[in-house]
């Protein structure tokens, strides 16, 4: 995990899910290091995130007589991460680094770092390594999404998960599951162990710019088993998953969009099929304008809204219906006096066109999903 002259004292992992404007997962690893060297060298490999393959390989590794080959088993593509940035937190300074396929070399020379607590030779450095996973494992489910993650460095003592705006954990107490594979070294002998179900404390839930942040800590008993005091740990990997769900508040938008469809049709009937064709009522215009503005503002702020396609469809339907009513009103009173039959024909044509567009959208969406799955 690190060189002989480098000691990793503490490591915090912060996982941040993003679904908009694109699907990415931001990872922040904050660590306290003690070293006397001018360059810090850390393992920083990229690995595949397929759960079934990972589990299969872990089972094979658990029965293998050569667990030191674990790095090669988990090696993946080098383009899985982007936006790598490294900061010296206790100096508020961006640090220069070189990242190749196998390791990360960080230049810490030339800075007046604080000395190690209780010592006077080694430097105490707090690093923050931040990067983005370009292909995170998000599986869409009816109530939200399921996410899988990997942590390739020790967890000492805690880690956090930040969800997108409008999302929360499906079950605070039972939701997160995690296991661990570890290679230990003692008296020049390698020991490998698999911890299939790690027990966690928490979560503690806080807010950060409106987003829910969940903090977890490994329970003391499991922590001591994973990190024995008399053993060096050259390799460790954690694998976890959790399910999320939409905030109940935003389900109200979906149900209101259904009501907006009904209001729009009722408005069409009341304005076009009376003795005198009228313009839409002011209350309807206020409701449509407010709902549209609120929905677009949530989208601009990257909130995750359940069944948002239905909401946008209801807005488009209502706006085009409004344009249709206004056009018929202008034509009727400015050019010709439209008959009831002609008005009905225009409205029927409009509804048929909107229905065909809806069917086409559903077919096209299903086709794209099949193409992606291939």
Residues linked to residue 39 through DSSP beta bridges, in sequence order: 107
pLDDT recorded at residue 336: 56
Helix axes 308-334, 340-373, angle to 10 degrees: 160
Burial of 67 (0-12, 13-18, 19+ CB in 10 A): buried
DSSP 3-state of 231: coil
Place of tokens 């409009």: 350
Percent of all residues in the chain with a pLDDT value above 90, rounded to a whole number: 4
Q: Is the pLDDT of residue 172 over 70?
A: no
Over range 139-154, report the average pLDDT. Answer: 81
Q: What is the distance between the alpha carbons of residues 118 and 143, in angstroms, rounded to a whole number?
A: 51
Burial of 203 (0-12, 13-18, 19+ CB in 10 A): buried
How many helices and strands (H and E) does the chain possess?
7, 17
pLDDT recorded at residue 374: 43
Q: Dig out the tokens for 122 from the structure.
A: 């080694």
Residue 141 backbone dihedrals phi, psi, to 5 degrees: -125, 170
Return the minimum-mean-pLDDT range out of 29-33, 115-119, 254-258, 280-284.
280-284
């Amino acid at each position: 995990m690190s060189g002989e002259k480098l000691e990793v004292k503490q490591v915090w992992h912060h996982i941040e899910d993003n679904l908009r404007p694109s699907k990415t997962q931001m990872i922040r690893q904050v660590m306290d290091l003690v070293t006397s060297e001018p360059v810090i060298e850390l393992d920083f490999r990229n690995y595949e995130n397929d759960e079934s393959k990972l589990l299969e390989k872990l089972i094979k590794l658990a029965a293998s007589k050569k667990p030191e080959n674990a790095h090669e088993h988990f090696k993946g593509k080098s383009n899985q991460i982007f936006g790598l940035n490294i900061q010296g937190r206790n100096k508020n300074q961006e640090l220069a680094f070189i990242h190749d396929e196998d390791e990360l070399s960080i230049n810490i020379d030339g800075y007046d770092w604080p000395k190690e607590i209780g010592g006077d030779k080694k430097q105490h450095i707090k690093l923050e390594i931040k990067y983005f996973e370009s292909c995170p494992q998000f599986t869409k489910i009816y109530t939200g999404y399921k996410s899988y993650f990997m942590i390739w460095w020790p967890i000492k003592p805690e880690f956090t998960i930040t969800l997108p705006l409008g999302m929360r954990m499906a079950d605070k107490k039972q939701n997160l599951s995690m296991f661990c594979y570890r290679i230990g070294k003692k008296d020049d002998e390698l020991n490998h162990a698999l911890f299939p179900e790690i027990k966690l404390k928490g979560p503690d839930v806080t807010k950060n710019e409106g987003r829910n942040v969940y903090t977890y800590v490994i329970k003391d008993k499991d922590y001591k088993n994973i990190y024995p005091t008399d053993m060096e740990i050259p390799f460790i990997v954690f694998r976890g998953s959790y399910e999320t769900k939409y905030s109940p508040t935003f389900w109200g938008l979906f149900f209101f969009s259904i009501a907006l469809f009904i209001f729009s049709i009722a408005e069409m009937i009341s304005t076009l099929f009376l003795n005198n064709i009228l313009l839409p009522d002011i209350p309807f215009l206020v409701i449509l304008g407010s709902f549209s503005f609120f929905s677009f503002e949530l989208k601009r702020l990257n909130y995750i809204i359940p069944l948002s396609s239905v909401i946008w469809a209801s807005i488009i339907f209502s706006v085009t219906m409004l344009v249709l009513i206004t056009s018929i009103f202008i034509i009727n009173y400015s050019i010709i006096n439209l008959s009831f039959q002609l008005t009905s024909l225009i409205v029927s044509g409009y509804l048929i066109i909107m229905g065909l567009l809806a069917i086409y959208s559903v077919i096209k969406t299903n086709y794209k999903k099949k193409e992606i799955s291939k």
